[in-house]
Amino acid sequence: MQRIYFDNAATTSLDPEVLEAMMPYLTEKFGNPSSIYSYGRESRLAIENARKTVAKILNAHPAEIFFTSGGTESSNTAISAAVRDLGCRRIISSPIEHHATSHTVEYMNRQGNVALSYVRLTPDGHIDLADLERLLAESREKCLVSLMHANNEIGNLLDIHAAGEICKKYNAVFHSDTVQTVGHYPFDLRNTPVHFITGAGHKFNGPKGVGILYINENVQIKPMIHGGSQERNMRAGTENLYGVVGFAKALELATSRFETDKEYITGLKYYMAEKLKAEIPGIYFNGDTFGKSLYTVLNVSFPKTEKSEMILFNLDINGICASGGSACTSGADLGSHVIRAINNNPNLVAVRFSFSRQNSKEEVDYVVEKLKGML
CB-CB neighbours of 306 under 10 Å: 6
Please indicate whether residue 167 is annotated as part of the active site: no
Distances from the Cα of 286 to the Cαs of 24, 110, 290, 333, 350, in angstroms? 44, 31, 10, 20, 8
Active-site option among 143, 167, 321, 328? 328
Question: Which amino acid, residue 200?
Answer: A
- Residue of 354, 335, 353, 358 lying closest to 345 (CA atoms): 335
Within the chain, residue ranges assigned H as helices are 16-26, 38-58, 71-84, 99-110, 129-138, 160-169, 230-233, 241-256, 258-279, 311-317, 337-342, 361-372
Long-range own/partner contacts, residues 226-230 (CB < 8 A, 24 or more apart): 228/34, 229/34, 230/33, 230/34
> Largest Cα–Cα distance of the chain, in whole Å?
67
Contact assessment for residue 94 and residue 147, using Cβ atoms and an 8 Å cutoff: yes
Contact assessment for residue 354 and residue 289, using Cβ atoms and an 8 Å cutoff: no
Distances from the Cα of 364 to the Cαs of 26, 261, 367, in angstroms? 37, 17, 5
Distances from the Cα of 69 to the Cαs of 137, 241, 306, in angstroms? 36, 11, 41
| Residues that are catalytic | 328
